[in-house]
Chains A and B, each alone.
Chain A
Amino acid sequence: MLIKRPSDILPSEITDREIYRSRRQFLQSVPAALAVATLPGLFSTPVFAAEKLPGARKSPFSTGEPATPYKEVTTYNNFYEFGTDKADPARAAKTLTTRPWTVTVEGEVKNPRTYAIEDLLRLAPLEERIYRLRCVEGWSMVIPWQGFSLSELIRRAEPTGNAKYVEFVSLHDPKQMPGQRSGVLDWPYVEGLRLDEAMHPLTLLAFGLYGEVLPQQNGAPLRLVVPWKYGFKSAKSIVKIRLVEKPPVSAWMRAAPSEYGFFSNVNPAVDHPRWSQAKERRIGEFLKRPTLPFNGYGDQVAQLYAGMDLKKFF
C-alpha cells in the first residue's frame, strides 16, 4: 500500500477551508444573533453543527488527492430522507435532532447494547480518513471524515457464530425527516454488509467531516463510510446495527432489484442498467476521469471477493 506524506495536501486547500469555515460561521451567527434578539433557542441547531471534533489522528488509509471543498460536500447530497434533489438535504435537514441519539447493536451478538452517541464517540480514538466517494450516479468527491473503524464497535459486541451479515437501519421519523412522507423508498433506509466487509479496517463509522461534527445533511450524528462501494451503501443517521444470519435486503434493492445489488462495489466494468459506470465526474473538475475498480481500493479489498463473478454479484 502506498502511503503518501501529508505534504500532498496543498496549502491552498487549507486556506480555502478556513475561508469556508469563517463564511459559514458568519452565516450561522446571523440566525443565532436573530435568535438571541427574538426567539431564543429556535435557531440553536445550525450553531450546534459547527462543533469541532478535535484530536483526530492521521490515517495511512487517507488519499493524498485534494479534498472537495466543504461547500460542495455539504450542499450536494443524496439523502432521500430530506428530498430527492441533491440541494434538498442542505435546506431541509435542519429539522434533524441529533442529540440525544442512541445506537443499538443487537442480533447475533453476545453483548447487545444501546449506546448514547456521546459514549460511542469515546469508544475508540478518532482518526481522520480522507476517502474517495463514488456515487452510483457517476460523480465523485474526496472527503476528510473523522471516525473509527466499524470493527471497533462490532468486536465489542462479540458476534456469535451465526452472524454472517450486518444490517444498518437509519432513523425513521417523518417529523424530522420530511422526505419520508413520500413513498420514494421503503422507510426506514436499510443497508447491509457481509460481516467480513463490515470488519474490514477501511469500513469507517464516521462522526465528523472536515474536523467538525457531521452536518445533518451528511448523515449526522453518525454514518457509515464504505469507500470501495457506491455511496448509497454508506448508510446515514444510523440508529440500529444488527448482526444477522441472512443477507439483509437494502432499501435500494427493494426499490429496484435489477439496478442495485447487495454488493454494489464500484466497478467500471459493470454498468448500471441505464447508464455507464466507466467514468465519473470528480466534483470541481471539468473532464470526466476513469472510474477505478473498487474505487481505487482494490489492493485492500479485492481479496474479499476472490473467485466471485462480480457481474453476477453486482
Chain B
Amino acid sequence: MRFLSGLKISLFLACLLPLARLLWLGFNDGLGANPIEFITRSTGTWTLSFLLITLAITPLRRLSGWQWPIRVRRMLGLFAFFYACLHFTTYVWLDQFFDPTSIYQDIFKRPFITIGFASFLLLIPLAATSTQAMMRRLGGRNWQRLHRLVYLVTIGGVVHYWWLVKKDVTQPAIYAAVLAVLLGYRLWRKRSGPAFLNGASTQSTSRPAQENQR
C-alpha cells in the first residue's frame, strides 16, 4: 500500500514534467521563434504519448505479471485528457484567439482538425466516467465497452498528427508504429484464444471494472 501511494505521487509529479518544461522554457525565452506552434506541438505529442502509455499498461501487466500498473492506469489516462485539454485550449485561445468563424471552418473543412476534434470529444466521456462511482453506476460491462473508445481516440490522434505534417512523416510514423504494436498485441492475444490464458481467473471479463482489460 505504501509502495503504491509513493508510486502514485512520484508518477503524478513525473506526469507534470512536460507542462513544467513548457513553463520553464516560456519564462526563459526557450520556445523558439514561434512559441504558439511549439506549445501546440508539445501538448499534442504529449497527449499522444500519454494515450500510448495508457494503452501499454495491459500488455505490461500481462507480460510482467505485476499488478501495480493497473492501479496507475486511470491517472495516466486522465493525464492524456489533461494534455488534450491544454492542446485544445492552445488552439482555441492562443492560435485562433476565439475566432468562431475560423474555428468552425477548421473543424468542418480541415480533415486533420475534424479528426483531432472528434478524438478530443470522445475523450470527454472517458474522463467523465473515470471515477469509482461512475464505474459502479455504469456497471463493469458497459463501462468497459465505453472505454474501448480509447482505441478510436488514439488512432484518431495519430491520424490527426499524420495529416498535419507537410511532408516528413517520421514523427507521426513513430507514434503509429507504437500504436500498431499495442493493438497488434491485443489482436494476437484475442486470436490465440482462452487456451493462451494461463492465469485465466484474473483475466475474466466479469471482474470489477477497474480490473478489466482494455
Contacts and interface: CB of A to CB of B under 8 A. Distances in A.
Interface of A: 71-72, 75-76, 80, 84, 86-87, 136-137, 139, 182, 184-185, 255-256, 271, 274-276, 278-279, 281, 283-284, 286-288
Nearest to B36: A281
A185 B168 CA distance: 9
B97 interface: yes
Interface residues of B, number: 22
Q: Chain B interface mostly helix, strand, loop or mixed? A: helix
Contact of B34 (A71, A76, A136, A287): A76
Nearest to B113: A275
Contacts of A281: 34, 36-37
Contacts of B102: 276, 278-279
B32 interface: yes
A23 to B, nearest CB: 13
Contact of A84 (B32, B36, B163, B168): B168
B4 interface: no
B33 A76 contact: yes
B189 interface: no
| Of A75, A87, A271, A276, most B-chain CB atoms within 10 Å | A276
Given A84-B168, A86-B32, A287-B97, 4 more contacts: A72-B33, A84-B166, A182-B168, A278-B102
Contacts of A283: 33-34
Contacts of A274: 110-112, 163-164
Contacts of A184: 167-168
A279 B97 CA distance: 12
B203 interface: no
A275 B102 CA distance: 11
B105 A276 contact: yes
Nearest to B94: A286
Contacts of B109: 271, 276
A256 B32 contact: no
A291 B95 CA distance: 15
